[in-house]
Amino acid sequence: MNNPLLKTDGLPEFESINASHIEPAIDQLLSESRDTVISLLSSTQDYTWDNLLQKLEDMDDQLNKAWSPASHLHSVADNDELRVAYNACLSKLSDYATEMGQNEELFHAYENISNSAAYESLSPAQKKIIKNALRDFRLSGIDLNEKAKNRYKVIQQELSRLQTKFEENLLDATHAWEKHITEEDQLSGLPDSAIALAAQAAKNKDKEGWLFTLDFPSYMPVMQYSDSPELRKEFYKAYVTRASDKCANSDWDNSNIMLEILKLRTEKAKLLGFENYAHYSLATKMAEEPDEVLNFLNDLAERTKAFAQQEFEELKQFANETANETQLDAWDVAYYSEKLRQKKFDISQETLRPYFPVNQVIEGLFAITNKLYNVTIKQREGVQVWHKDVMFFDIFEANGNIRGSFYLDLYARQHKRGGAWMDECIVRKKSSTSIQDPVAYLTCNFTPPIGDKAALLTHDEVTTLFHEFGHGLHHMMTRVDYSGVSGINGVPWDAVELPSQFMENWCWEKEALDLFARHIDTGKVLDDELFGKMTRARTFQAGMQMVRQLEFSLFDFRLHLEFATNESLNIQDLLNEVRQQVAVVNAPEFNRFQHSFSHIFAGGYAAGYYSYKWAEVLSADAFSKFEEKGIFDKATGNEFLTSILEQGGSREPMELFVEFRGRKPSIEPLLRHSGISA
């Protein structure tokens, strides 16, 4: 078979890839990799970077370049055949990773290199790869006896299967629910953009009227603008009970899956000598001890809760005055918040939407990147993609050389995982003849264009695009030549959000917005009055938003910390306890948020969701240097480029931050940006 996944010289041939290619390609590459390792280890005992580790990097790169498009398609163009092939390969890849992580001969080869005289002549990046590898061998159970090693392998396999099943249940439950509306009076309060999107969705399914779904661009406008409390409650209940014991299809219930995941994670951590999974998680992060994380989160909660409570009391009073609402239910919060925002600041996301046609936003993002880092970004036609809406771009240095490239997939659609993310397609690395340029996937779920009109983004969507592009720059602007610590590889999870949250700041600066925020009909930029309203509204309910994120972070961390000593721990009870501590909005009894918390049950954020707040301290403080020097100060932009973006995971993040900022991070800029005084 002529398998496109085995052609790893250029970009993936997405138009040729189908589900039948995936398993044969992975089988072949895994077999070749095993043979390569045996051959390398038997050919010499005098191991060096060049005769062993470089060849292992090259080998892993081939496997990653085949698996990356297959895994990506599972996220953005899922179907039954793809799902079967993907899941079949997951267990094989899990076995292979465990096998390599427990290969004692390979472990000793790394040890030999780290203890050799030649080690001192290696670059900092090469030394960091070896240091990380020795740590990861231990985290893969290299020190375990044979019985324990086998158990570790089973745990890894089962975790891989369960985490994928969690995500698939959530995807299926989300896309199975829809609300078909045929009476126009039920649309009261909804903005024209939401109504047009629902009309287009109905038309696409040959239905009259309007069709709403739980995809965010469809769901959120209902919660913010629908005048019907009954409709808001119906949507809210459908959304917060997805993949739970309360959802329509019991096959999608994630209840038992969550418990099994927690049991297996805890067992794995204890098998490796950790007290619990939280301790295990921190072995690869900036934070060193669970108390450090808990103190950080609890301190932020103490500083913030009174502000959040004050904001919520104001909202309740407003709802009572305007609609005689004596009790504010969870499904009413977004609606009255939007009304209060409009009353206080005379602005809404819909007011701003005409200023953000998608092509202008993209051009503005590229112009800002040019001003900061002296690179030019141009679209490349003729690249194979997985959907007609996907675009491809190259980043050029001033000398005309390509620095990196990326796919941009902006809009929500069926069979696509929700949320927004950046992932690696190709990693920068040095070969014997050249440098392999990095390529990224940037994926969002924005409101799609209606008919032949340009897509208009909300300011929240603009911020999300800048966030993901920040991740992309971290991947693509790296100067590290070794894939193990190139780009985001080897970066501790609680530092990886620094470049992404950092980029969001330019969405709030007039000088930056003037580059692209122009009204679609008049071409006028945001005037000072509208910009003033926007910036005053920036910290609206910032306390409520902060405690919501702290609720997620504390729940995640405590869950993975405490499950080890209490396997009968009730997940719902713990979440309720955390809410009692930090939340100001009461969640109804039927709320099953945890069943859709894929960040921690299916993604990489287990006992690590605190990373968003941790890195936000870093990003706010990093941006404060631009506030001091000028938001487009070329010297400061170059310092951020060389100290943070180019370094990847080759050095410790605190060392890099201090190099850029001249000191350790301060929490004050975050509190200032949030409108919360110290």
Our CA dihedral for 252, 468, 430, 13, rounded to 10 degrees, sits at 60
Q: pLDDT for 388-427, tens place per residue?
A: 999 999 999 999 999 999 999 999 999 999 999 999 999 9
The residue among 620, 666, 664, 420 whose CA lies nearest residue 502 is 620
Dihedral (CA of 601, 603, 608, 609) sign? negative
**Given the structure tokens 């985490």, which residue do they identify?**
163
Is the model's pLDDT at 285 over the cut of 90?
A: yes
Average pLDDT score over residue span 213-226: 97
Q: pLDDT for 562-574, tens place per residue?
A: 999 998 999 999 9
C-alpha distances in Å from residue 611, one per residue of 154, 604, 618: 29, 11, 11
The residue among 470, 463, 472 whose CA lies nearest residue 499 is 470
User: Amino acid identity, residue 380?
Assistant: R
Is the distance from CB of 189 to CB of 229 less than 8 angstroms? no
Q: Provide the 8-state DSSP code for 525.
A: B
Residue 270 in tokens: 């204890």
Contacts for 38 with CB less than 8 Å, ≥ 6 apart:
none
The residue among 51, 79, 61 whose CA lies nearest residue 483 is 61
Burial of 48 (0-12, 13-18, 19+ CB in 10 A): middle
The residue among 87, 103, 102 whose CA lies nearest residue 160 is 87
Is the model's pLDDT at 46 over the cut of 80?
A: yes
| Per-residue three-class SS string for 56-76 | HHHHHHHHHHHHHHHHHHHHH
Question: Which pLDDT belongs to residue 678?
Answer: 47
Question: Which pLDDT belongs to residue 469?
Answer: 98
Least confident of 9-18, 489-498, 669-678: 669-678
Contacts for 362 with CB less than 8 Å, ≥ 6 apart:
408, 465
The residue among 653, 656, 553, 600 whose CA lies nearest residue 293 is 553
What Rg, from alpha-carbon coordinates, does the chain have?
Answer: 25
Q: pLDDT for 191-201, tens place per residue?
A: 999 999 999 99
Question: Which pLDDT belongs to residue 613?
Answer: 95
Is the model's pLDDT at 360 over the cut of 70?
A: yes
Helix (H) or strand (E) holding 670: helix 668-673
Walk across the sheet containing 421-426 and list its strands.
376-379, 391-396, 402-411, 439-446, 421-426
Question: Which pLDDT belongs to residue 1?
Answer: 64
Q: How far apart are the first and last CA of the chain?
A: 64
> Distance between CA atoms of 138 and 131, rounded to whole angstroms?
11
> Distance between CA atoms of 541 and 218, rounded to whole angstroms?
23
E-strand stretches of 399-458? 402-411, 421-426, 429-430, 435-436, 439-446
> Distance between CA atoms of 338 and 557, rounded to whole angstroms?
31
CB contact burial 556-570 (16+ within 10 A = b; e otherwise): bbbbbbebbeeeeee
Mean predicted lDDT score pLDDT of the chain: 96
Residue 590 in tokens: 């039927």
468 is catalytic: yes
Is the model's pLDDT at 227 over the cut of 80?
A: yes
Strand partners for 412:
none
Catalytic residue, chosen from 167, 350, 461, 468, is: 468
Residue 361 in tokens: 């936003």
Strand partners for 406:
393, 440
Least confident of 80-89, 300-309, 317-326, 637-646: 317-326
Question: Which pLDDT belongs to residue 233?
Answer: 98
Question: Which pLDDT belongs to residue 45?
Answer: 80
Is the distance from CB of 78 to CB of 171 less than 8 angstroms? yes
pLDDT-derived band at 432, boundaries 50, 70, 90:
confident
Average pLDDT score over residue span 84-109: 97
> Distance between CA atoms of 420 and 438, rounded to whole angstroms?
20
> Distance between CA atoms of 15 and 25, rounded to whole angstroms?
16
Q: pLDDT for 511-536, tens place per residue?
A: 999 999 999 999 999 999 999 999 99
Q: pLDDT for 173-187, tens place per residue?
A: 999 999 999 999 999
Is the model's pLDDT at 209 over the cut of 90?
A: yes
Which domains can be identified in the chain, with CATH numbers?
Answer: 4-101+103-139 (1.20.1050.40), 175-251 (no CATH), 354-540+612-673 (1.10.1370.40)
> Distance between CA atoms of 353 and 361, rounded to whole angstroms?
11
Is the model's pLDDT at 646 over the cut of 90?
A: yes
Strand partners for 235:
none
> Distance between CA atoms of 560 and 556, rounded to whole angstroms?
6
> Distance between CA atoms of 533 and 517, rounded to whole angstroms?
15
Is the distance from CB of 349 to CB of 458 less than 8 angstroms? yes
Helix (H) or strand (E) holding 396: strand 391-396
Question: Which pLDDT belongs to residue 8?
Answer: 87
Is the distance from CB of 356 to CB of 507 less than 8 angstroms? no
Is the distance from CB of 103 to CB of 111 less than 8 angstroms? no
